[in-house]
Each structure stands twice: as C-alpha cells, then as structure tokens.
Amino acid sequence: MFHHQPLTNLFCCVGWVMESAGTEGNSLSRTDFIYCCGAVTEVLRFGPAHLNHEHKVLFLVIPGNPGIVGFYKTFMQALHASFGFRHPVWAVSHAGHCDPPVSMDMVEDASFIEEGDIFGINGQIEHKLAFLRKHVPKETRLVLLGHSIGCYIILDMMKRNPELQVLKAVMLFPTIERMAQTPQGRILTPALCHMRYLAYLPLFLLSLLPERLKTALVKLAFSRIQSLDSTVVAPTVDLLSGDCAANAMYMGGQEMKGVLERDNLTIKNNLKKLVFYYGAADHWCPVQYYHDIKKDFPSGDIRLCRNGFRHAFVLDTGKDVAGMVIEWLSNDLRS
C-alpha cells in the first residue's frame, strides 16, 4: 500500500551523473541519468540541457508504463523540429524505469524509497513534481504531453499544484479511469496484482543474456510490425534489465487497483487547457470511455482517432502522432 503524504521534504533531485549526446539532423538529443526522489531517473532532451529566462515554453513528455523515455525519441524529435527547434522538448522517465549505467544503483537511499513508495503511482506523481521544482523555472510555460497512464499523472499533477504554468496538456490514449474494467485490464489485473512475482525469475534469466541475443529476441517479438520504428528496439532491450521491468509491473498493479473514477473536477477546472485523443480500437481505453467523457464535457477538445493508430503509437507512428499534436498546438504557441 502506498502512502499519500507529499514527498516535498525528501531529498528529491541530485545532479547529472552521466550524459551522452547524438545528433539527428539539426536536432541535438541528450540523455542524462539523475537521482530524483532517491530513485534513478532517465531524462531525454531535445534542445538545451538547462533552462533559462530565454526559454519561455517547455514541452515535457510524461510516458506511459513502462515509462522508458527512449520509446518517445522519434515523437520528440518531430516535435522539436516542427517548431523550428525553438522550444525544448524533454521527457522524464518514471522512477526506476530505466537501465542505469554501471556507476549508479537503482536507488540512492532505500529509506527514501520506502517512505514515499516512489515506484508506486502516488510516488511517481510526486516524482514528476519534484523534477519540475528542481529543473524547470517556475515561470516556464509547460506543454505537457501524456501517454496512457502519463495522462492520469498529469491530471493529478495539475490537481496537486494548481500553480503549474500549464499552457496545454495533451492526453494521448488516456488511461484515466476504470483501468481494471478494460479488456486488457481484465486480463492483466490478476497477473499484475497477485502473480507478478512469478515473472521475476524469467526476467532475471533474460537479463543475463548477452546484449546481442536480447536484441535479436526483441526484434523477433516485433517482427509482425511492418513499419517498426527502429529506435524502440534499444529501450525495449533496456526493459529486460530485470529491475526496470519489475518496477513497471509493480506500478501496473497499483494502476489496476487505483485508477478508478475519472477526475471530473480537475478536468472541469482545466478544460480549456486539455486535449484528449482516444483510440478507436484501444483495449486499454474502450471507445465507450470516449463517448462517456464527450457526453460529460461536450465543449471539451476531445477527439477519437480516425487513423488506426495503436495504443503503443511509439512503435510505428510516433512521427505521425507528433504531426497531429503540432497542428493542435500551433495557435496556442503563436499567441
């Protein structure tokens, strides 16, 4: 069971430990591993590594589960390029959802982890707020981009800190209600809530395989996806590190138990800032959920996918989804 007390008194974020950079066209990407709320965290950045008064707007991706930022690389690169590289585009992983470098442990101090249950859903929300407090100036306007459970996290962030300078919050394939009742939820709830420990031994054995063999297995698993984005292979291999997958399953179990009723009050209070995009064949978020929220908020910007995009859009349509987001946001960023 996770605790509901805020983590603001914890030792939350400490400095950059490792970095790597690569160039794709004019868009420079940078990956850093930091400790945030005592847990290792991966940050992927397009644009500057540090913000100052010249950076008026920050795009921040809050991932789904597993919350590995490498999955969003193509999506982020397209966003960064389309706005003329003017606005930084960052993604922050969920706490413990990464394969840290050998110089870092998964946790910095176990006492912080136990006190705040940082790997649980409540802890992950506080983790994102702590990241913003440490690394983003208060006056920076935020374009929050949530995917799946990341949408739930964003709504709770806006609820807990109404002073966040949110320009827009885009909710892609949002899992913000009744997760255990969805087709996927009914299948996975028993496994995630009661039997996830049975998966730990196979995961540990997989983690011992050579990188080349793990990569081959991942490519085989994705072989049916014709237009697979090759950049998702490496993050998927990272997921096989063992601890990363275990943390993702632990968080998933809490999602099944804790994501129940839609937070209509927070949606109502921020309706003009929100854009919802529902899948037409999403087993994590049935179309009925789209009709329900559309009925409750008829004036809201609530859209249903007409393009056949999958829930895990990053696997093959990250650039296409970014193109839609750019179109939705163009007027807001001009004003």
Angle at alpha carbon of residue 132, lines to 131 and 133, rounded to 5°:
95
Report residue 136 as tokens: 């983003």
Catalytic hit among 94, 99, 311, 316: 311
Pairing verdict, β 39-46 and 13-24: unpaired
The verdict on whether 282 is a catalytic residue reads: yes
- Distance, in Å, from the CA atom of 165 to the CA atom of 129, rounded to the nearest integer, reads 12
The verdict on whether 27 is a catalytic residue reads: no
The verdict on whether 148 is a catalytic residue reads: yes
Look at residues 133, 72, 129 and name the one whose alpha carbon lies nearest to residue 98.
Answer: 72
Distance of CA 303 to CAs 87, 129, 306, Å? 25, 27, 9
- What crossing angle do the helices spanning 243-258 and 183-194 adopt, rounded to 10°? 120
Look at residues 25, 150, 169, 159 and name the one whose alpha carbon lies nearest to residue 93.
Answer: 150
- Distance, in Å, from the CA atom of 161 to the CA atom of 163, rounded to the nearest integer, reads 5
Residues near 181 by beta carbon (within 8 Å), at least 6 away in sequence: none
Catalytic hit among 148, 156, 229, 241: 148
- On the 0-12 / 13-18 / 19+ scale of CB atoms within 10 A, 46 is buried
Catalytic hit among 99, 117, 229, 282: 282
| Residues with catalytic roles | 148, 282, 311
